[in-house]
A and B are shown apart, each in its own frame.
Chain A
Amino acid sequence: MKHTILFAVLIAFSTWASAQTRLVGRVVTAEEQAIEGATITLANQGYSTTTNDEGRFSFTYLEAIDEEVIIEANGFMSDIVLTQLVQNQVTDLGDIILQADLLAEVKEEVLLNLNEMDLNDDEGKSQSVSSSASASQDVFNSTVSFAWSNARYRNRGYEQTYEQNYIQGLSFNSAERGQFNFSAMGGLNDATRYKEVVEGIEANNFSFGSVGQATNYLQSATNYAQGWKVGLAGTNRNYKGAARATYSSGLMENGWAFAAQLAWRYSPYIDVKGQIGEGITYSSIGYFLTAEKRWGDDMRLSLITFGAPTMRGQSAALTQETYDLTNQYNKTSWGHNNYNPYWGYQDGKMRNSRIVHSYDPTAIASFDWKINEENHLKVAAGYHYSFYSNSALTFYNAPDPRPDYYRNLPSALWDGQIDKNGNFIYQDANGKPLGNGGTINGSYVGPSINDDTYQAMVDLWTSRDNKATQIDWDALYAANYANNVNNPDGSARYIIERRHNDIQEAVANANYRNTSIEHLTTTVGLELKASQGIHYKSVDDLLGGNQWIDVDPFAERDIKELATNIGLTQADIENVKQNDLRNPNAVIGKNGRFGYDYRINMMNAKLWAQNEWSWNALDLYYALQVSYSSMQRTTDMLNGRAWYLAKLNPNNAWYYLADNADAVLNGQAVPERMVGYTHHFIDPAFKAGINYKVDGRNQIKLNAIAETKAPLARDAYISPRVHDRAVANIYRHDYARYYAGIYGTSALEEYFGASQKIVGGDLTYSFNYPLVRGRVTAFYTQFWNGTELNGYYDDESRTFVNQSLTGINRRHAGVEAAAAVKLGLYFTLTGALSIGDYRYTSNAMAITSAENGMALAENANGPIYELRDSVLLKGLRVATGPQLNSSLKLSFFHPDMWFADITVNYFDWSYLDYAPARRMKGLFTGTRADGSAVNGWYGDQYTNAIEKDANGDVIYDVNGVPTLKYPYSIMSQQESLTSSNPLHRFLVDVSVGKLIYLKDRQSISINLTVNNLLNNTHFKTGGYQQARLPRQTRQGVDDNKNSVISPNAWKFPSKYYYAWGTNFYLNIQYKF
C-alpha cells in the first residue's frame, strides 16, 4: 500500500514537473571547466539567474516562446543562444562554451600591478589608486575599469575605503586603514581570476556592502581548469619580466581538488635616466595554494594559502619645476616625466632609498554546506599577517639629503625676491627700478636674481648631475665616517630607517541563505574580525655610522622654546626629546627599533540581514546591518613628548597616558606595555532597492542606502606615535551623556558625532538588445562629518604639527552611462561616459597641535597649544581622479580567436588635492576661529588689548606691522590638473591577442597591451598641495613703500604625478 501511494505521488510529481516549461543548461570553459556565477538572462521574458558551482542553471514556469538566452561571465566573452521553448517540455541547451576574454585577463593583471605600485602607506599624501581591479559583467564597469585606470579614475569619486574586498566571504579590507592591499596577491593572477562583483548599492549575497563596489574573490580549487598553465610576460612598467606556472588537479575521484600557482616578477635597477621606472628595482615571488574537498554535492571544504614577498623601489611626486628641468634629459620628441629623486649612485652602483618590503602570508579555511534545497550555509575563517614597511633616509644635525629638497632647486633663489602678489621684485626698497629680468631655460627670472647663479643651478639639473639631482650616497657615507672620528659615541648623521606598518588580522564569517518562502531569498551574515596594527621604526642601514641615538630631532631643535616659554628645567628638556624615557639616549644598531613602537588593537563585528523578493516584473530587496567596532592603542615606549604634555596639562594627563598618567607623573613604574583607552562604536546601516522589469530587455532600478561609519583608527588618533590622545569628537562620543549636558545637545547626537554619516542612492535604466546593450545611472551620495588626520612641518612654529579635521561634508553626484553596439559579425563599439560633481559642501574644523607640545600661538589669555580654525573647503572639488571621463572602444573578435581593441579616452575636470594648512580661515582674515592672530598679536602696551578692525580681525601682528593676510588669489583657487591643451587630455590604448588551440586541449595565447600609445607625457594623474607654508618674511615693499609681509605662498609648490608615457605589457601563455 505504502509503495502504491509513493508511486502515485511520484507519478503525480513527475507529471506536474514535466508539465512545466523549463530551460536548463551548463556553462563551461573551452576546457570544459564549469563556470560558477555566470549570469543567464532570458531577454524576452526578463528572467535571470546565475550558474551554480557545477556551472548549471535552470529556469521553470516559462512561457513557451522564442527566447534569446544571454550568457555573461567575468573574464569571458558574452554569448547569446537563440532557442524555442516548447510548452510543458524541458529545453536543454547542453554545454554552452564561453571563450575566455584574453584581453580582459591581461588588463586585470596590469590593473592589479598599478594598484600595488600606487600603494604607499606611510606617505601623508599618496597617489590615489584607481578603482577596484574588479571589472564586472556590467558593460560600464567592464569598459572603464581598465580604460580609465591610467587616469586614476575612481568609481563615482569614492575613495578605496568605500570599496569592500572579500576572499571566500571574508572581509580583507584593513580595519585600520580601510583599504585592501592588492600586493597581497601580487602577480598571482589566478588568485584573483574568479570573483563575484556587486556594483555599489545593490542586493549582495556575501556582505552588506557600502556605497562603492564590493568584490568577493573565489579561490576554491575546483574553479581552476585541470592541467598546467605556464606563462611569460615582458613589460616596461615597474617590473620588466614575469613568469608564472599554475597546476590544477581538477576534481579527483576521492573528492579532492588541488590548484597551485607560482609567480615571479623581477626588474633589475633601470640605470637609464629618463626611462620609465628609472632607479626602480623590483623582485617578487608569489605562491598560491588551494585545496578543496567535496563530500557529495552538498559539502565543500576549501583550504587556501597565498603570499607574495615583494621588494620594490619607489618613485616620487614632483613639483612642476622639477619635471620641467629634468624632462629634457634623454628626451624623446615629446619629452618624458620619469625623473626619480629617490635613487643615487653608491660606489658607482644604483641604489633607491625608498624600498618597500611587503608580504601578506594568508591562510583561509571555508566550508560551504547546502543543507537542503532551501538552506545554504557558508562559514569561513582566515588569518593573515601583513608585513609592510618602507625605507627612507633620515638625518640628524645634517643637511637634508633629498636632491629635490626645495633649497636645491633653482627657484630657491627666488626666496626674498617675490612680492606679496607672487611677482618678482622690480624695485629695491629705496624705490629704485632694478630692470626687467630675463628668461632662462624657459623660466622667467626676475631682475633681482643673478643670471649666472640661476643658470649654474639650471645646468646641474638639466644635465642630471649625479650629485645634485640624485642622492649622493658616497657623501652620506663620508659624513658618517667623519662623524665616527669626531664624535664616535654620537648619532650617525644619516641612516636609512624602515617604517613598519604591519597588521595582523583574524577573520571569521558566517553566511546563511534561506529560500523556503516563495519569491523570497533571505540572507543573514555575521562578520568578525580581530586586528592589530603594529607600527615601529627600525634601522635599515647605518650607512657606515657607528650607531643611531634615539632622540627626536624636532624636539631637540625646539628646546629653547620649551625652556623659555614653559619654564622646564634642563632635566625636563632632556626628557622631552626622548622617544623612550625608560631607555633614554638609546644606542640603536642595525635592525634595532627606535622612534616609536605602538599597536592599535581593533575589534569589528557586523551582523546583517537581507531580504530579496523576486516576482515576474519586480525585484525588491532591503537589508539592515549593525556594526560594532573598537580601537585601543598600546605602546612599549614612554615618549618624552607624551610625558611633557601630561605634565603641562596635569588635569587632562589621561589624554596622553591614559590610566598610566598618575604613575608617570609621579615617577612610579608603569607596565612594559602601556595600554590606552578603548573606544567603542556602534553603527547602523540600512539599504533597499527595487528593480522594475519593464520587459525582458528594459529594466529600471532604484537603490538607496543610509549608514554611519565609525572613524578609522588611522584617522582617530592625533599623534599615535607619541601619545594616546584621540580626536575631540571621539571623547564626546565616549562620554556622550556628559557632553550632551555641557553643550545642551542630545546624547544620541554626541554618540554619533564621531561617525561619518552617508546617505546615497542611484537610479539606473538598463537595456539589453541583440545589437545594443548598456545602461544609464544617476547617482547622488552625501557624506557628513568625515574625519581626516594630517601631519606636516610648520615653518611658522618650526616644528612638526598634527592637524585633525572633523566635520568634512561632501556630495558626490553624477551620471554614468555606457552602451555597446555590435557592428557586424566581428566588431563592437562601446562608449562609456561618467560625469560627476564631487565637491565639499561645507567648511571643516581643524585642530592643530605641535607634536612636541609647544605653544603655537598666544592671545591675551596666554599661550595656545591647540589652534582651532575653520578650513575653507566649501565648494572645492574632491580630488579623486577626473570627474569627467569618457571613452570610445572599438573591439574586434574573430572566431579564429583573434582579439583586438583600441580605446580612445578623454578626461577632464581633475583637480589638485587641497592641503588644509593652506585653507585656514585665519590666513585670509588674519584671525583664526579661536580668536588668535595668525602672525601673533600686537596688544596695547598698557592694557594688552588687541587692536581689531570692524570685522573683529586683528589689525597688527606681533611686530606691529599690519597683520598678514594671504592674497586670496594665490591661495584659494583650486588648481585644475587638466592640461590647457585639449589634445593632452586624451589617452589611447591598444590591445591585441591571439589564442591558438593545439591538439589534446592544449593552447597558446599571446597578448599585447599598449597603454598611452601616443606617448602623452603631459597628463597629470594626481597631485597635492604641500601643507608646508613658509615662515612669513618681512621683505618686500608695497605700492606705498610700506613694509609688508611677503607670504611666499609659492615657496613650497604643489607636487604632481604624471601618467607614464607609452608602455606595454606582453604576455605569452601555454596551457597543457
Chain B
Amino acid sequence: MKKILYIALVALCAACTPPATEESKVFLTEESAQELIAEGTILTLQEFKDTYMTEKGNFLSDTSLYRTRATKDGINYLFSIDTISKSEKPIYIRGRITTDDQGGNFYKSLCIQQIVDGKQQALRVSVDMGSANGLYQMGQEILIRVDGLAIGRYANQPQLCMPSYNNNIYANNYEQKIGWAPGRIPAAIFKAHTYCIGLPDMNKLVYDELNIKDFTSILNLQEARNWDGKLVRLKNVHYTGYYFTTSGTAKCTTGNPEDDTNANVFAPTTTNIGYPQTRIIEDASGNKTGISSSEYAKFAHFYLPGADQNGIDNCKNYVGDVEGILGFYNDNAKYDPAYDDWSITIRDLDDLQLKDANGQLWPRVEYKK
C-alpha cells in the first residue's frame, strides 16, 4: 500500500524531472568552436605570451604600489601584470588541460598545452576554484576568451590571471612579493570566459621526454619562461632522499612530518606557511632537480619512494620514469635563473613509475605515529 501511495507521489512529480541533456549540447563541437573563433581572433599560447606579456607589465606602473623586482641586469623583472582590455572582437586561446587537482598537489591552478607544429606550448591558468578538475578535467580541451583577463608572471612563472593585491608577510622572500601580483581569476569570471570542446581525451596529451640537464642548464630567462608549465617525462631517475638548502642539499630525517619540515616524506609541514616542499631526484649522470609537493597533497605524508621509518637508504633502488609539470620558479632573491629554480610537480603518485631491480613498483607507505 505504501508503495502504491509513493508511486502516486512519484508519478505526480515525474513530470518535473527533465530528461538528461545530450552530450552534443553541453560541449562545443569542433565546428561550433570554429564558429566562435571566426567571430574573433585566436592565438597560440606562445603568440599570446609574446603579444601581451610585457617585461614590466601595464598594470599600475607606479612602483610604490606595485613592487616589481628586476634581475641584476636591471632589465628583466620577476613580477608583472598585463591586463587585456575587453574587446568587441573576442580574443581566444585554446589548449588541453594537463593537470588534475584531485591529488591535492595542484591548488586553484591548472596547466594547458597546445601542440603547434609538433611542439608543445604551455601556459598556467590561475583560477579561484577548488576541485576545478570536476569541471575542467585532465585531457579536456578548452577555449578561453582572454580579453578582459590578464597575463602576468609570478616569480617569473607566466600565467593567465587577474590582478590581486598580496599582503602576505609569511611567504618566503615576502618583501619582494607584497603589492599587486598576478592573482586567481574568480571562478565565475573564468566560467564565463571558458568553453569545453568535446570530451576529454587523455591519449592526446603529449609529454616532452627530457633529461634533467635539458632544463636545469637553461640560463636564458625568456627561454626558461617558455618552458614553464610543460608536461614532461623524465626517464631513469630516482629519489635521493635529500632536499635543497640555501647552501646546497641536506638529508631528509625520519621525523614526524607534522612538526619536522625535513621529514623523508613528500611534503612535511611548513608550519602553516604553505610553500611547496622539494625533494631531490637524480638521473644516472648525477644531474639533480626537485620534485615539488604541497603539504596539502593527499600523499604529502607518504614516504618518498624507497624511504621508510629507518631512513632513505633504499631511495636509490627505485628507478624509472617521472611525469609531471615542469616548473620554473625564480623566487630565490637571486634574480637570475639557477638550476634549483626548476622543479617537477607531480599530479598524483601514479606519476612516479619507479621500480626496483625486480621490476616491482615502489611501495606506497604513509607515515604513522
A interface residues, Cβ below 8 angstroms from B: 281, 283, 285, 307, 309-311, 313, 346-347, 349, 351, 355, 357, 359, 361, 385, 387, 395-400, 403, 407-408, 412-413, 416-417, 425, 428-430, 432, 434-435, 448-450, 452-453, 456-457, 460, 465, 467-468, 472-475, 477-479, 481-483, 485-486, 493-494, 540-541, 543-544, 559-560, 563-565, 567, 569-570, 959, 1034-1037, 1043
Of the listed stretches B159-167, B241-249, B277-285, chain A binds: B159-167
Chain B neighbourhood of A1037, CB < 8 A: 167, 169
Chain B neighbourhood of A567, CB < 8 A: 368-369
Chain A neighbourhood of B178, CB < 8 A: 428-430
Q: Measured between alpha carbons, how far is A570 from B365 in the docked complex, in Å?
A: 9
Closest to B11 in A: A309
Q: How far is the CB of B105 from chain A (nearest CB, A)?
A: 13
Selected contact of A543 from candidates B6, B20, B191, CB within 8 Å: B20
Q: Measured between alpha carbons, how far is A923 from B192 in the docked complex, in Å?
A: 39
Q: Measured between alpha carbons, how far is A478 from B128 in the docked complex, in Å?
A: 20
Chain A neighbourhood of B148, CB < 8 A: 456
* B131 close to A412 (CB less than 8 A): no
* A355 close to B16 (CB less than 8 A): yes
B interface residues, Cβ below 8 angstroms from A: 2, 5-6, 8-10, 12-13, 15-18, 20-23, 25-27, 64-65, 83, 102, 128-135, 137-140, 148, 162-165, 167-170, 174-175, 178-180, 183, 186-189, 191-192, 196, 199-202, 256-258, 271-272, 298, 300-301, 366-369
With A398-B131, A453-B162, A468-B188 known as contacts, the answer to whether A311 contacts B2 (CB < 8 A) is: no
* B20 close to A448 (CB less than 8 A): no
Selected contact of A478 from candidates B17, B26, B192, B201, CB within 8 Å: B26
Q: Measured between alpha carbons, how far is A475 from B196 in the docked complex, in Å?
A: 9
With A355-B16, A448-B165, A478-B196 known as contacts, the answer to whether A456 contacts B5 (CB < 8 A) is: no
* A450 close to B163 (CB less than 8 A): yes
Q: How far is the CB of B14 from chain A (nearest CB, A)?
A: 9
* A479 close to B134 (CB less than 8 A): yes
Q: Measured between alpha carbons, how far is A563 from B135 in the docked complex, in Å?
A: 29
Selected contact of A465 from candidates B16, B192, B366, CB within 8 Å: B192
Q: Name, among B17, B134, B178, B179, the residue most crowded by chain A CB atoms within 10 Å (CB to CB).
A: B134
* A544 close to B20 (CB less than 8 A): yes
13 CB < 8 A contacts A-B? A359-B8, A385-B2, A399-B135, A407-B187, A429-B169, A448-B167, A467-B191, A468-B191, A481-B199, A486-B138, A540-B17, A567-B368, A1035-B169
Q: How far is the CB of B168 from chain A (nearest CB, A)?
A: 6
With A283-B16, A473-B21 known as contacts, the answer to whether A359 contacts B202 (CB < 8 A) is: no
With A399-B130, A450-B164 known as contacts, the answer to whether A346 contacts B186 (CB < 8 A) is: no
Selected contact of A399 from candidates B15, B134, B139, B174, CB within 8 Å: B134
* B199 close to A407 (CB less than 8 A): no
Q: How far is the CB of B174 from chain A (nearest CB, A)?
A: 7
Q: How far is the CB of A306 from chain B (nearest CB, A)?
A: 13
> Can you list the 8 inter-chain pairs with the closest CB atoms, starting with the nearest?
A398-B134, A448-B165, A478-B26, A468-B188, A311-B13, A359-B9, A450-B163, A347-B21
With A540-B17, A564-B301 known as contacts, the answer to whether A570 contacts B167 (CB < 8 A) is: no
Chain B neighbourhood of A465, CB < 8 A: 188, 192
Chain B neighbourhood of A416, CB < 8 A: 167-168
Selected contact of A486 from candidates B139, B179, B187, B366, CB within 8 Å: B139
Closest to A435 in B: B65
Q: Measured between alpha carbons, how far is A473 from B26 in the docked complex, in Å?
A: 9
Q: How far is the CB of B8 from chain A (nearest CB, A)?
A: 6
Closest to A487 in B: B137
Chain B neighbourhood of A412, CB < 8 A: 128, 186
Q: Measured between alpha carbons, how far is A456 from B192 in the docked complex, in Å?
A: 10
With A395-B134, A448-B167, A475-B26 known as contacts, the answer to whether A482 contacts B196 (CB < 8 A) is: yes
Q: Measured between alpha carbons, how far is A564 from B186 in the docked complex, in Å?
A: 33
Q: Measured between alpha carbons, how far is A387 from B8 in the docked complex, in Å?
A: 11
Q: Measured between alpha carbons, how far is A477 from B135 in the docked complex, in Å?
A: 10
Chain A neighbourhood of B131, CB < 8 A: 397-399
* B12 close to A285 (CB less than 8 A): yes
Selected contact of B188 from candidates A313, A408, A486, CB within 8 Å: A408
* A397 close to B102 (CB less than 8 A): yes
Chain A neighbourhood of B167, CB < 8 A: 416-417, 425, 428-429, 448, 1035-1037
Q: Measured between alpha carbons, how far is A395 from B132 in the docked complex, in Å?
A: 12
* B65 close to A457 (CB less than 8 A): no
Q: How far is the CB of A676 from chain B (nearest CB, A)?
A: 23
With A359-B5, A435-B65, A486-B139 known as contacts, the answer to whether A460 contacts B21 (CB < 8 A) is: no
Q: Measured between alpha carbons, how far is A1053 from B191 in the docked complex, in Å?
A: 24
With A355-B16, A467-B192 known as contacts, the answer to whether A564 contacts B135 (CB < 8 A) is: no
Chain A neighbourhood of B202, CB < 8 A: 486
* B129 close to A482 (CB less than 8 A): no
Chain B neighbourhood of A309, CB < 8 A: 8-9, 12-13
For the complex with contacts A310-B12, A473-B21, 18 further pairs of A-B residues with Cβ separation under 8 Å are A283-B12, A311-B16, A357-B9, A399-B130, A399-B131, A407-B187, A452-B163, A465-B192, A467-B188, A468-B191, A474-B21, A474-B26, A477-B23, A479-B135, A481-B26, A482-B200, A541-B17, A543-B20
Q: Name, among B179, B258, B300, the residue most crowded by chain A CB atoms within 10 Å (CB to CB).
A: B179
Q: How far is the CB of B169 from chain A (nearest CB, A)?
A: 4
Q: How far is the CB of B102 from chain A (nearest CB, A)?
A: 6
Chain B neighbourhood of A398, CB < 8 A: 131, 133-135
Q: Measured between alpha carbons, how far is A563 from B83 in the docked complex, in Å?
A: 44
Q: Measured between alpha carbons, how far is A387 from B10 in the docked complex, in Å?
A: 11
